[in-house]
Chain A
């Protein structure tokens, strides 16, 4: 029991930090521009592919630095030459633009790298076991992932709190119109925010590429969960996103370990459910079976009960 608890806690924290890595950029973009960016996960995927390609040419460490920069440039271009044009069509047009972009990026990636998963193993430099706990290895790349995730949080936190541009962005998070009225270059800030957000997604992609699978459906598999993190954490709150990521990571991991269903509960309460009952199927689902859909349950509940999330400054 102690073994499973410890290992699960560790797994939960690791998964939570991966989620934070994925969604920190989105929190920034969404809070600032108010755009539900469906292409965020696609930029993450581009990060994975670009780092794979660059890694092939000049090695893993340069790729770790270059791929995020390329993603930032791509993000800036998306904002400058795409989103800005559809802005006049309102929020729906913006959302749909990113939605269409997600379709397009998936097809472009297929066009360039093909349909099957790439052989993208953990780079040799970080392919060793960091330590072992209860005979379960802890691979070094997961350590790197945790490190990067924490560094991201620190960087964003300091940049937002301690720099001038950070203060402007922060002001824009809560009072977007006011900042523009004060004469700041809001479009410029928008491009910057989109670039930084996309760069962070790209950085996450470098690690995500070999932690998950580098294939064209990569974006789809993480596409919805990043929204869950941002909604649960609350718009405009980095700390909220961190807490939400950890919560989802840990809850989901522990749920997998719970092999009980509603039927077991009924049995304890001495309620008899007939096998022919209409809802028998529902009652017999184990918590473990439902684990991966728990985030969506949390999403719906949170939006109904408290649309501003744990620490949000305004409703989504």
Chain B
């Protein structure tokens, strides 16, 4: 979303006003184009892939709303799923009304979710945003526990364990569409996701959005400027609640069911991990995180029962080595890419990646075999890893695993100075070029 990148579109063929417009919104236009074509790309055009993409869209809105709190305002919430879930419940009840004959197009269900999220955000936010920091985090934890417990006790509204169901097809058709096929739902949800992302981006650009950053960085100074940090936090919280509720509404529309797990601590933890791994400090970060984690969740669990362990390791590695998340890693390279110095670092990366991959394979061998022995011993000790048949009862695979891990890691450590040096050279080059560019 950088506004400083150089112009790509040739200005000769277009009128100046149009050029400026295109230039300003080129990322959004490109994103919209990609989203429209995506489900028709071979390999992505199955019903399962459509539902996976849809799920990514829902997660992205949810993670973006979380990042309005964590990234923009510095509020770490352990109970953000409350607003997702309450929005979802309102939306599903609204859907039932539509099923019952309320003459409103089903595509407007997410609006009901957004309203539900907003109302609950205002309601809870008025007490939880009084304080920032750890107090806020803990209150959000407590509220999350309370709402989750309530969802089992108040079965009239929450429908207990099995939740509330509705049908998205039992409604007035819109332009001849009944929204049964996943592809139609994909477009509805992607439309809403796109609009919400744009609105959230716009929010970060408003004075209030800017004040959120100020509250995050220095609440005392904010007060001097004449803003009440508590009010700013409240507004940010309500807006985050609105979009979390909208995501909940999208969830209701897509799955046609909302159950207690939508308000659970697991979901609250999940969105936190998504936003952080993607990079909460960057607008694009939570989107990257949502896509990555959703994909890992659905597909990694097909290959290994230890996927949670890998996810946990991935999270810790990102925390320690890339506090800016995946987005931080990617955007770090923007100046180098712009000055065409990327190839230098890529070679160094390759040198480091080879031993790293070896180490990871070694670790994976050990983890997979341990998992097999402890959780599925009766499946036998013979298993297939990376296309090779191994027997976990013999010492050789274990030795191989340890050797690969140790040797890979050792060589990997040796490559660090190389990467650092290449990186330094490339940034210097990039700096020099951009200086030269500025001088011209």
- A–B touch (CB < 8 A): the answer is yes
Q: Which of B272, B367, B375 contacts A114 (CB 8 A)?
A: B375
Interface residues of A in 272-292 (CB under 8 A from B): 278, 280-282, 285, 289-290, 292
Q: Across the interface, do B153 and A103 meet the contact criterion of CB distance under 8 Å?
A: no
- Of B42-50, B108-116, B303-311, the stretch lying at the interface with chain A is B303-311
- Chain B 226-254 per-residue mask, 1 if CB under 8 angstroms from chain A, else 0: 00000000000000000000000000000
Q: Across the interface, do A104 and B145 meet the contact criterion of CB distance under 8 Å?
A: no
Alpha-carbon distance between A185 and B145 when the two chains are bound, in angstroms: 39
Alpha-carbon distance between A228 and B135 when the two chains are bound, in angstroms: 12
Chain A residues with CB under 8 A of B348: none
- Chain B 54-86 per-residue mask, 1 if CB under 8 angstroms from chain A, else 0: 000000000000000010001010000000000
Alpha-carbon distance between A139 and B159 when the two chains are bound, in angstroms: 41
Chain A residues with CB under 8 A of B315: 96, 100, 103
B142 close to A (CB within 8 Å) = yes
- Of B126-134, B165-173, B191-199, the stretch lying at the interface with chain A is B126-134
Alpha-carbon distance between A89 and B321 when the two chains are bound, in angstroms: 11
B11 close to A (CB within 8 Å) = no
- Of A62-70, A192-200, A297-305, the stretch lying at the interface with chain B is A297-305
Alpha-carbon distance between A91 and B134 when the two chains are bound, in angstroms: 9
Q: Across the interface, do B157 and A95 meet the contact criterion of CB distance under 8 Å?
A: no
A36 close to B (CB within 8 Å) = yes
Chain B residues with CB under 8 A of A96: 272, 276, 315, 319
B329 close to A (CB within 8 Å) = no
A296 close to B (CB within 8 Å) = yes
- Chain A 82-112 per-residue mask, 1 if CB under 8 angstroms from chain B, else 0: 1001100101110111011101101110111
Q: Across the interface, do A293 and B146 meet the contact criterion of CB distance under 8 Å?
A: yes
Q: Which of B137, B145, B154 contacts A293 (CB 8 A)?
A: B145
The distance from the CB of B146 to the nearest CB of chain A, in whole angstroms, is 5
Q: Across the interface, do B374 and A86 meet the contact criterion of CB distance under 8 Å?
A: no
Chain B residues with CB under 8 A of A224: 141, 145, 265
Alpha-carbon distance between A277 and B135 when the two chains are bound, in angstroms: 35
A227 close to B (CB within 8 Å) = yes
The distance from the CB of A315 to the nearest CB of chain B, in whole angstroms, is 7
B361 close to A (CB within 8 Å) = no
Q: Across the interface, do A297 and B306 meet the contact criterion of CB distance under 8 Å?
A: no
Chain A residues with CB under 8 A of B30: none
Q: Across the interface, do B370 and A112 meet the contact criterion of CB distance under 8 Å?
A: yes
Chain B residues with CB under 8 A of A56: none
Q: Across the interface, do B149 and A100 meet the contact criterion of CB distance under 8 Å?
A: no
Alpha-carbon distance between A112 and B370 when the two chains are bound, in angstroms: 7
Alpha-carbon distance between A307 and B319 when the two chains are bound, in angstroms: 29
The distance from the CB of A314 to the nearest CB of chain B, in whole angstroms, is 11
B371 close to A (CB within 8 Å) = yes
The distance from the CB of B46 to the nearest CB of chain A, in whole angstroms, is 31
Q: Across the interface, do B149 and A280 meet the contact criterion of CB distance under 8 Å?
A: no
A242 close to B (CB within 8 Å) = no
Chain B residues with CB under 8 A of A307: 131, 135
Chain A residues with CB under 8 A of B316: 82, 97, 100-101, 104
Alpha-carbon distance between A107 and B153 when the two chains are bound, in angstroms: 31
- How many residue pairs link A and B with beta carbons under 8 A? The number is 121
Q: Which of B70, B146, B309 contacts A300 (CB 8 A)?
A: B146
Query: What's the tally of chain A residues with a CB closer than 8 Å to chain B?
Result: 48
A113 close to B (CB within 8 Å) = yes
B181 close to A (CB within 8 Å) = no
- Chain B 263-286 per-residue mask, 1 if CB under 8 angstroms from chain A, else 0: 001000100110010000000000
- Chain A 196-235 per-residue mask, 1 if CB under 8 angstroms from chain B, else 0: 0000000000000000000000000000100110010000
Alpha-carbon distance between A297 and B145 when the two chains are bound, in angstroms: 9
Q: Across the interface, do B142 and A107 meet the contact criterion of CB distance under 8 Å?
A: no
Q: Across the interface, do B312 and A299 meet the contact criterion of CB distance under 8 Å?
A: no
Interface residues of B in 148-186 (CB under 8 A from A): 149, 153-157
Q: Across the interface, do A285 and B135 meet the contact criterion of CB distance under 8 Å?
A: no
Alpha-carbon distance between A297 and B157 when the two chains are bound, in angstroms: 21
Chain B residues with CB under 8 A of A299: 138-139, 141-142
- Chain B 313-329 per-residue mask, 1 if CB under 8 angstroms from chain A, else 0: 10110011001000000
Name the 9 nearest CB pairs between A and B, nearest first: A107-B309, A104-B312, A103-B312, A300-B142, A299-B142, A296-B145, A281-B154, A100-B315, A293-B149
Task: Spell out B's residues near A (CB within 8 Å).
Answer: 70, 74, 76, 127, 130-131, 133-135, 137-139, 141-143, 145-146, 149, 153-157, 265, 269, 272-273, 276, 306, 308-309, 311-313, 315-316, 319-320, 323, 367, 370-371, 374-375
- 10 A-B contacts, Cβ less than 8 Å apart? A34-B134, A92-B70, A97-B319, A100-B273, A100-B312, A111-B309, A112-B370, A280-B156, A307-B131, A315-B135
Besides A278-B156, A289-B153, A293-B146, 13 new A-B residue pairs in contact (Cβ under 8 A), listed by A number = A34-B134, A36-B138, A92-B74, A96-B319, A97-B316, A111-B370, A224-B145, A280-B156, A281-B157, A292-B149, A299-B141, A299-B142, A303-B138
